[in-house]
């Protein structure tokens, strides 16, 4: 009898497994794919290092760094180059750097003079936080329509591949929403939050790093290292078919085998979790089905390394006849991502504002990419020396205005099944740190349940 079975070997499931390993529990992680990592993997392809999902994590990600330290991965940490400070927004046919200081803010052509004035008045805007307000309504109200159009909405596309007019402000940007609710202003609230966080970290003896980070061998080093540590506790190509529970245990059938366990951590994405848990908790299955997932096509491509703007990448406002959501410049962020003389790019298409893009053929996507980036970079582009297209029909959870209520109802449903726990970034957000935190939390809940019920 196993103490636990973890379903899914993405960052959340792997983190949960690593924590259970530290506590000497008997468990298995079952992964449907032939390799672990979920969307956090690094592919070696024709001399390039290609990320299958996120490319970096922030120095402010406290729990990611906690995990990195526990895995002894600190020596392989790699900070992004100074070029990462340059982020661009496309407007009026040009890429404009996002201003990162007062002087640059005053001089930038990205916003009109009236929009800049409106943005600086944010602390004076009345506090009217509403629980079901969309992200678009929230940012327009706090910063004005022009800033919401050219700055906030592109970042929403970049983070969620979502539609600002559909996502919930409270659900998708809870810190920002609470800054207004508690302090009457995002700017003032953010300042108070950062002061309190610095004070807490100083008391705890924790020093957070600044900037963006990855690893020498790519972000996939994180999930690969955990998978290696799990060893025989991880089974890939093990698609879970059914989960049944009797009075004392769960019976899990996967790939023709039957496993018995005292508890389950379901770290599968919402569509898979719905199919797996509908029999155990029908109400939970319905809620999972009500969590939309944005489709994304990720195109890795290269060009000769000349005449490209230095930076992290660019984002595209959703008001031009250009389908790209945004493009990253990985070879400018870290060394050894591309062969000498080549620039590596990672472009995102699709999302909730253009789901049909994911259905385009490889040739159609490539032609669209080259045509658009010739306009964006204002230079002729040749056929990519390297091209790899990854398609994700359900890539990123969409946190709609009532998402917190859905998650509360979902957790209420799972509490009716003793020993069933959830992990995944969809619970509280979509970032890597959200996945890691959910892994920590689910492991703690599982450990407490097993110890109190069976080993106390």
pLDDT value at 102 more than 90: no
Instruction: Decide if domain 111-204 falls under CATH 2.40.50.140.
Output: no
Structure tokens at 210: 């600044």
Average pLDDT over residues 71-76: 96
Strands 240-245 and 387-397: unpaired
With tokens 């964006």, the residue in question is 376
Contacts of 261 (CB under 8 A, 6+ apart): 1, 2, 3, 4, 5, 27, 28, 249, 250, 252
Question: What pLDDT score was predicted for residue 307?
Answer: 80
In this prediction, residues 104-127 reach a mean pLDDT of 93
CATH code of domain 293-397: 3.90.660.20
Distance, in Å, from the CA atom of 108 to the CA atom of 112, rounded to the nearest integer, reads 8
pLDDT (tens digit, 9 = 90+) per residue, 361-413? 999 999 999 999 999 999 999 999 999 999 999 999 999 999 999 999 999 99
Average pLDDT over every residue of 194-206: 83
Give the start-to-end residue ranges of the domains of the chain.
Answer: 4-40+59-71+219-291+400-455, 111-204, 293-397
- Fold of the domain built from segment(s) 4-40+59-71+219-291+400-455: FAD/NAD(P)-binding domain (3.50.50)
d(C-alpha 97, C-alpha 102), whole Å: 13
Closest listed residue to residue 368, CA positions, set 202, 354, 409, 209: 354
Spell out the residues 6+ positions from residue 284 whose beta carbon is closer than 8 angstroms to its own.
273, 274, 277, 278, 410, 413, 414
Q: What is the pLDDT of residues 403-454, one digit of tens each?
A: 999 999 999 999 999 999 999 999 988 999 999 999 999 999 999 999 998 8
| Average pLDDT, integer, range 320-332 | 96
Element (H, E) at 138: helix 135-143
pLDDT of residue 394: 93
Q: How far apart are CA 167 and CA 202, in angstroms?
A: 35
394: β partners: none
The pLDDT mean for the chain works out to: 94
Closest CA to 101 of 86, 91, 90, 115: 86
């Amino acid at each position: 009898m196993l103490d636990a079975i973890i379903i899914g070997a993405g960052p959340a499931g792997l983190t949960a497994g690593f924590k259970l390993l530290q506590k000497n529990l008997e468990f298995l992680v079952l992964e449907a794919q032939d390799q672990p990592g979920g969307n956090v993997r690094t592919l070696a392809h024709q001399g390039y290092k290609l990320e299958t999902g996120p490319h970096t994590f922030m120095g402010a990600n406290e729990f990611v760094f906690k995990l990195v330290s526990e895995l002894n991965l600190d020596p392989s940490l790699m900070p992004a180059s100074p070029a990462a400070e340059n982020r661009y927004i496309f407007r009026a046919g040009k890429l404009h750097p996002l201003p990162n200081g007062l002087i640059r803010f005053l001089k930038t052509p990205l916003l009109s003079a009236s929009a800049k004035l409106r943005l600086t008045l944010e602390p004076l805007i009345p506090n009217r936080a509403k629980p079901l307000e969309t992200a678009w309504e929230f940012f327009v109200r706090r910063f004005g329509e022009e800033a919401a159009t050219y700055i906030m909405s592109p970042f929403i596309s970049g983070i969620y591949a979502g539609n600002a007019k559909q996502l919930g402000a409270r659900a998708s940007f809870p810190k920002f929403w609470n800054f207004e609710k508690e302090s009457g202003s995002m700017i003032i609230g953010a300042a108070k939050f950062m002061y309190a966080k610095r004070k807490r970290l100083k008391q705890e003896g924790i020093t957070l790093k600044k900037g963006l980070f990855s690893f020498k061998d790519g972000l996939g080093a994180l999930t690969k290292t955990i998978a290696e540590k799990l060893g025989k506790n991880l089974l890939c190509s093990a698609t879970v078919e059914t989960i049944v529970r009797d009075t004392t245990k769960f019976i899990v059938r996967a790939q023709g085998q039957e496993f018995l366990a005292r508890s389950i951590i379901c770290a599968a994405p919402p569509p898979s979790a719905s199919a797996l848990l509908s029999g155990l908790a029908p109400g939970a299955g319905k809620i999972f089905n009500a969590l939309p997932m944005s489709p994304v096509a990720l195109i890795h491509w290269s060009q000769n390394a000349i005449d490209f703007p230095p930076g992290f990448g660019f984002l595209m406002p959703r008001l031009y006849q250009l389908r790209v959501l945004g493009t990253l410049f990985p070879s400018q962020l870290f060394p050894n991502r591309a062969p000498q003389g080549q620039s590596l790019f990672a472009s995102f298409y699709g999302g909730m504002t253009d789901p049909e893009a994911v259905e385009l053929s490889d040739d159609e996507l490539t032609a669209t990419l080259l045509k658009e980036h010739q306009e964006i970079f204002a230079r002729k582009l040749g056929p990519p020396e390297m091209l790899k297209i990854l398609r994700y029909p359900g890539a990123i959870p969409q946190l709609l205005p009532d998402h917190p209520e859905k998650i509360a109802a979902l957790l209420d449903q799972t509490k009716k099944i003793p020993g069933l726990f959830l992990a995944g970034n969809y619970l509280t957000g979509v970032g890597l740190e959200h996945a890691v935190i959910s892994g920590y939390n689910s492991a703690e809940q599982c450990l407490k349940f097993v110890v109190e019920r069976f080993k106390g």
